[in-house]
Structure 1
């Protein structure tokens, strides 16, 4: 979340600009999507909020949070924002601490006064209601059964656009209705005969978003997502061995034996035929199946199965014809349909393929001992490469993943690379380039085992290049864990990597309280913190952070020989990333460059 000084700046800008042609909120169709307010209460107070009733204080509840502790208060509220705000989404994490039989814990939108607003309420009896409130009159716009447990965090969101009001809990829509009760107003946090904690409040606008990052961020230096990637596997890739090889070609036939002269037509048919130790060699061209390609059989440690491009020819697996491309807003994708390439098998090697326009690019579930080498996952309708579940010993080498977005979640979850919601040791990421993705470059949300990331870069993530409505992309370079409270403590390691030009943080612990390791990394020109390790007990050594919204937020983390320890003014030999973001070396690695090396020659930061 934004630090408090940015929260106050956002409010000041809103107050100044709303009367002046409604340029920040109260958007017309030409306005720009933006985060106009956010507060994570890390400054220890509720300045910028107006209080009405209750006993409010900022406490530590896993992280700093605003807490209303008087469970006997009939009506306790905090308000923020402008009464001129019209079309926006407000989201907050909410934890009921006690929930009275006739009470509620709620998020408010369009509060034109203290008793006129829309409300998303957590109620006793395991109920959630979207309500229109006018004084003592409460109209239920939508209602849903939902288990509500005290002491548990829930993410509540209300979207108000015109006369349409929509509420969701943890990303699941509670309901949508049309109401003309109130057309503009502030946001609010509320309890009635209950107590609760509130955190991570964000208000974002709708409208058409800019095609470049904000003025404070250097414009992207990479080609737009529709440009062919500079990472086609090198022509020096050796052809697969003849023995045990099945061939696939765009002019093949699945009735063929799968030889080089009589190839198969589909990768799925080759999968069904291949045996442990075998290779599927795919000739150049575009393959556009109408259903997910499912990798369900296993190789072995001594006989892995390989799926590769043939002789370095450019192979594109295009998922545009598959279901859920894209999925409907707020919908879910059945697990078997996730991924243009859906992997549940063990001991597979994927080499030199380009996966585009899929419902995820590659989705791995409970998959082990995989190698993902020199792949391109771009322009997919969810994360480019996503691994979850019980998944161990997967190595992701020289991945390029960019342009991935998720219209069904308004940018909330499409990462370049995600290893999340699971566990398993031995997962490694090396040489990845993750850019221009809707959410984050790398995300390890709720992955319970250590991951090693090294020699990788993440840049230009979190900007709405696709004009997604109600945009919620986070925009971090490397997000190292986190999850629902109590957030798991996981000791991920990030070494010799760079994050620049992301809309939010460069390297963040995301609330992961573990002992993470950050060594010789560089953060430059990120919108928020270069390094935010304030909620962990990380060890940070020889890192370089320059020109970010905040260069470092340490908390209880420790380290030495970082730029902030050494002090002074830091400049770079080069701020031109063209070499690093251009064509890869013949072996698939990121080319060497003086980009972001300190002018003074100090042994600090990444060397790529």
Structure 2
């Protein structure tokens, strides 16, 4: 019996020792504070590991930086990242997965303020502005990213043709969701889905007064939901039918169209949306078109417009079905 008790005690001691050893090996999450005159954002990101938190206190200046997987970057004391010294570079590049960026002002990058090719990242309560390309861009497979209460405004490139508020385009993946986001006063479009490869969901998003910024003028659509894919190497230009979904969204005062098909051949659904006083049309969803990149006439999938409004503007809804209580069409 004594031998049995001693054996059991030895097993327990060995288990406790092994557990303690494993706990020691596991790296505890670290919080790194970035501030003016203190640790730089570049240095903080170079040492950050998944699970770490980087606090940006007050205004800090930074060159272009890349965000590693699984980190949290959050602002305190009016946290602001000013990229005005990064030449023609992007601000934050997020090619990794599972990070969260929140409560920050991001501005003055020489290209995109935020550029994303990664997936399952969260962007919460951000003020992105005065960048020289789209404020936020998701491309090349970036999928299942979530944006909430992000305002992207006063972004302008030299020719006005690229700086959208939000560009979920050029082979972006599926599952990207935007809720309560605002795009306004950008030189090009509010939201541009040109050559996207996955459907996007918009909930309560706004597109206001896009198409001109500081005298620079671009296309000026509020929600541009299509585009012929002529950017895939070795593949002929083709339509990519995507069923984008918009609910409770508004487009007001944009230089061109409020909600614009732009050759989208999928079934776009708009529920409870309002388009008001846009320069060309409030809703532009023709049934047919001849995209210049294709060179032949096509018939598009019929959009669904449900319980929506058109105020003080013209519409082309020959390629849409109205359902529920729609006003102003």
Return the match for 2:311 from 511, 536, 546. 546
Structure 1 match to 2:31: 245
**Contact 2:190/2:207, CA 8 A, preserved across alignment:** yes
**Contact 1:403/1:435, CA 8 A, preserved across alignment:** yes
Structure 1 match to 2:18: none
Q: Distance in 1 between matches of 2:172 and 2:37?
A: 41
Structure 2 match to 1:108: none
1:275 equivalent in alignment to 2:49: yes
Report the secondary structure of 1:452's partner residue. strand
Q: Distance in 2 between matches of 1:348 and 1:523?
A: 34
Structure 2 match to 1:487: 239
> How big is the shift at 1:499?
0.6
**Contact 1:436/1:461, CA 8 A, preserved across alignment:** yes
Deviation per residue, 1:436-468 (Å, 9 max, x gap): 0000111111101110001111111112x4234
Return the match for 1:415 from 149, 159, 164. 164
> How big is the shift at 1:356?
0.9
CA separation of 1:505 and 1:562: change in aligned 2, threshold 3 A: farther
**Contact 2:138/2:172, CA 8 A, preserved across alignment:** no
**Contact 1:388/1:419, CA 8 A, preserved across alignment:** yes
* Count of residue correspondences: 282
Structure 1 match to 2:190: 441
> How big is the shift at 1:520?
0.5
> How big is the shift at 1:562?
4.6
Write the mapping of 1:373-392 to structure 2, written as runs, cut at 5 A.
373-392=124-143
Q: Distance in 2 between matches of 1:401 and 1:366?
A: 18
Structure 2 match to 1:368: 119
Q: Distance in 1 between matches of 2:319 and 2:96?
A: 41
Write the mapping of 1:553-572 to structure 2, written as runs, cut at 5 A.
553-564=316-327
Deviation per residue, 1:65-104 (Å, 9 max, x gap): xxxxxxxxxxxxxxxxxxxxxxxxxxxxxxxxxxxxxxxx
Q: Distance in 1 between matches of 2:78 and 2:280?
A: 38
**Contact 2:194/2:224, CA 8 A, preserved across alignment:** yes
Task: Please list every run of 5 or more consecutive structure 1 residues that lacks an aligned counterpart in the other structure.
Answer: 1-241, 253-264, 300-304, 325-336, 568-608
> How big is the shift at 1:274?
1.4
Q: Distance in 2 between matches of 1:562 and 1:359?
A: 45
Structure 2 match to 1:288: 61
**Contact 2:107/2:113, CA 8 A, preserved across alignment:** no
Report the secondary structure of 1:283's partner residue. strand
TM-score, normalised on structure 2?
Answer: 0.81
**Contact 1:434/1:459, CA 8 A, preserved across alignment:** yes
> How big is the shift at 1:433?
1.0
Q: Distance in 2 between matches of 1:268 and 1:373?
A: 21
Q: Distance in 1 between matches of 2:93 and 2:248?
A: 31
Write the mapping of 1:79-90 to structure 2, written as runs, cut at 5 A.
none
Q: Distance in 2 between matches of 1:294 and 1:556?
A: 42
Q: Distance in 2 between matches of 1:424 and 1:376?
A: 24
**Contact 1:361/1:378, CA 8 A, preserved across alignment:** no
Structure 2 match to 1:534: 286
Displacement over 2 Å in runs of 4+:
359-366, 465-468, 483-487, 561-564
Write the mapping of 1:326-341 to structure 2, written as runs, cut at 5 A.
337=89, 339-341=90-92
CA separation of 1:243 and 1:556: change in aligned 2, threshold 3 A: closer
Structure 2 match to 1:424: 173
**Contact 2:140/2:170, CA 8 A, preserved across alignment:** yes
> How big is the shift at 1:248?
1.2
1:509 equivalent in alignment to 2:283: no
Report the secondary structure of 1:374's partner residue. strand
Structure 2 match to 1:458: 207
Report the secondary structure of 1:398's partner residue. strand
Q: Distance in 2 between matches of 1:383 and 1:562?
A: 35
Q: Distance in 1 between matches of 2:256 and 2:324?
A: 24
> How big is the shift at 1:397?
0.5
**Contact 1:355/1:361, CA 8 A, preserved across alignment:** no
**Contact 2:139/2:173, CA 8 A, preserved across alignment:** no
Deviation per residue, 1:1-50 (Å, 9 max, x gap): xxxxxxxxxxxxxxxxxxxxxxxxxxxxxxxxxxxxxxxxxxxxxxxxxx
Task: Please list every run of 5 or more consecutive structure 2 residues that lacks an aligned counterpart in the other structure.
Answer: 1-27, 231-236, 288-299
> How big is the shift at 1:380?
0.8
**Contact 1:496/1:519, CA 8 A, preserved across alignment:** yes
Return the match for 1:399 from 145, 150, 153. 150
Report the secondary structure of 1:314's partner residue. strand
Calculate the aligned-residue CA RMSD, in Å: 1.7
Structure 1 match to 2:79: 315
Structure 1 match to 2:234: none
**Contact 1:365/1:390, CA 8 A, preserved across alignment:** no
